[in-house]
Chain A
C-alpha cells in the first residue's frame, strides 16, 4: 500500500517520519492519532492524504492547539484504554513517539489493534549508538533530539530498542507488516538497531 504523498499541499516543515506514515495509510482513510499533540501530524495527513482524522490528546494546551489547527480532537487519557471506540472502526490507529511515555504498553497496543485495522507505532530507538555511547562511555542517560529530557524530568517510562520491540511483537501475536528506521531523516537499512534513531512500525493483529 504505497501512496504518493502530495507534498505540494503541505505547509508544515517536511518530516520524513510524517511522509512514511502517510505512505502507510489509505487515501481518505479513517485515522485515529493517539497522543496527537498539537495536531500537526493529522493536519499533514489531512492536507496530503485527505484522511478523516481524529486525534486523542489529554493535555489542555495541546488539545486547544488541535482545535485551532482545525483538527477533531477527543480529550481522554490513553492509559485508560480506548473504550468508546468500536472494534475495527478505524483504518489506521497511530501512536507516534508516545509509546515510550505510556505506562500500560501492552494494553494500548492491544487496544490499537482492536480499534484499528492496522496500527502505526513509532518510538525513539534506545539501541541507537548515540544513546548507547552516552550510557556506556560517557556514563550518563542519553539526551538527544529524539530523547530531549534529563533523567529526572523525562515522561519516558518504557524506553526500548528495536530488538526489544521485535520480540515484544512476536510474544504478543502482533504481525509486523513493515518496519522503517530513520536517522536525521534518512532511512537506515543496515544495522538498524545500532544506527537508527527513530523506529517506525506498521502493525496488524495476527490472524
Chain B
C-alpha cells in the first residue's frame, strides 16, 4: 500500500440533479421541487456496490476532491482523503459528494431562486434538518442508480448524517464512518451556535433574511460568526503554538490588530463572509442544534439505533472540545448495546475539532485500514 503514490482525482466537474417529486421536511413544510449539486470521483462498478457518500459539515460543499481547473489555488475540502492510493481509493470506490439542501453552492437553498416566485428564497426557505438531508441524499442515490452504499462517511455535522443514514435507511448502508461527531449537541455547543446566529441576525444588513433584495449582505455578522467558529474548532494548544502572544508590530495601545491571532481571525472572517451565505449558515447551525435521534426514544440512543445494521467506525480526537471523545463514546455505547459491529479510535491530535480535516498519518492509516476491509 505504501508503494502506491497518492494521486489527486484531477480536474472535476460539478453536476446538478433536479427532483420534481415534492419532499416533505421534518418541519412539516414541503419543497415541491429541488436541486442537488453533486460531484463524483471514481467509477460506479457493474454491481453498483462500490458507492461511498461523503457528507459535509457546517461550511462544506459537494466539492470534496480535485480541482475545477489546474490553476485552482485549493482542491476540494477533503482532497487528502479521496484519490488513487488515498484512504478513499477511487480505484475501488465511487465517491459521491453532495451540497446539502439549504446550502449555498448550487443546491436549493435560501440564495437560490424559488421557482414559484422567480425570486431568491431568502428567509422563506424552510429550516432543514439532518433527517431532511439524508432523505434528499437518498433521492440522489436513486437518481444515480445506487440502491445500497458501501459506506457513508462524514465528520462533525457530516458524522451526524452518516449516523442518521444507518437509522433512516438501515438496508441502504453497509458501513458508516462517524468522525469527530456527537449524537446531539451539548448546551454549550448550542450556545456557540446561538451567538453565531445572533451576530448574523442583529447585523443591520440582515433585513430579516431578505438582504438579497436590499442588494447587501450581513457581512459583519457572518464574519463574527466565523471568527467564533474558528476559535471553537481549534484547541487552546494549537492556537498557542500557531500565534501565542505574538504581536504584529509594536504595541500601539489601540483597538486595531495588535496580536497575530486577531489578524488571523479577521482574515478568516473576511474570507468567509465574502463567499458564504448567511441564511445558509443559520440553517446549518440549526440542523446541528435539532439533531437528536434519541429524543423520540426518551433519550435512549441505543433504542434509536435498534434498526441499524451497518458496521461502524467511530473516530474522535483527543483535543476536540467541541465534539469531544466522550460524545463519540456515547455513540459507541449505543452501538455496543445493539451488538453492532463497531471499532472506535481516539486519535491523539493537537488540532482540536479541525483535526478531522488534517492529514495525520495514524488517522489516515485508520481510515485506510478500515476502508480497505470494506467489500465492494
Q: Which residues of A contact B (CB under 8 A)?
A: 30, 52, 54, 60, 63-64, 66-68, 70-76, 84-86, 89
Contacts and interface: CB of A to CB of B under 8 A. Distances in A.
B348 A54 contact: no
Contacts of A89: 336-337
A19 to B, nearest CB: 26
Q: Is the interface of B mostly helix, strand, loop or mixed?
A: helix
B44 to A, nearest CB: 26
Interface residues of B, number: 19
13 contacts: A60-B362, A63-B345, A64-B362, A64-B365, A64-B366, A67-B370, A67-B373, A68-B373, A74-B342, A75-B346, A76-B344, A76-B346, A85-B333
A162 B294 CA distance: 47
Interface in B204-249: none
A72 B341 contact: yes
B326 to A, nearest CB: 9
B151 to A, nearest CB: 15
Contacts of B329: 76, 84
A70 B341 CA distance: 10
B339 interface: yes
B343 interface: yes
Given A68-B369, A75-B345, A85-B333, 7 more contacts: A52-B339, A67-B373, A74-B344, A75-B346, A76-B344, A84-B336, A85-B336
Nearest to A67: B369
Contacts of A54: 336, 342
Interface string B343-355: 1111010000000
Contacts of B362: 60, 64
B128 interface: no
Contacts of A74: 332, 342-344
Nearest to A32: B336
Interface string B317-330: 00000000000010
A73 B365 contact: no
B337 A75 contact: no
A52 B346 CA distance: 22
**Which 10 interchain pairs have the tightest Cβ spacing?**
A74-B344, A84-B333, A67-B369, A75-B346, A75-B345, A73-B343, A72-B343, A68-B369, A84-B329, A72-B341
B366 A67 contact: yes
Contacts of A86: 333, 336-337
A129 B343 CA distance: 41
Interface string B4-29: 00000000000000000000000000
B339 A30 contact: yes
A114 B317 CA distance: 28
A67 B337 CA distance: 20
A76 B345 CA distance: 8
B329 to A, nearest CB: 5
A187 B339 CA distance: 35
Contacts of B345: 63, 75
A67 B332 CA distance: 16
A84 B335 CA distance: 11
B366 to A, nearest CB: 7
Contacts of B337: 86, 89
B369 A75 contact: no
Contacts of B370: 67
Nearest to B329: A84
A30 B333 CA distance: 15
Nearest to B315: A75
Contacts of A60: 348, 362
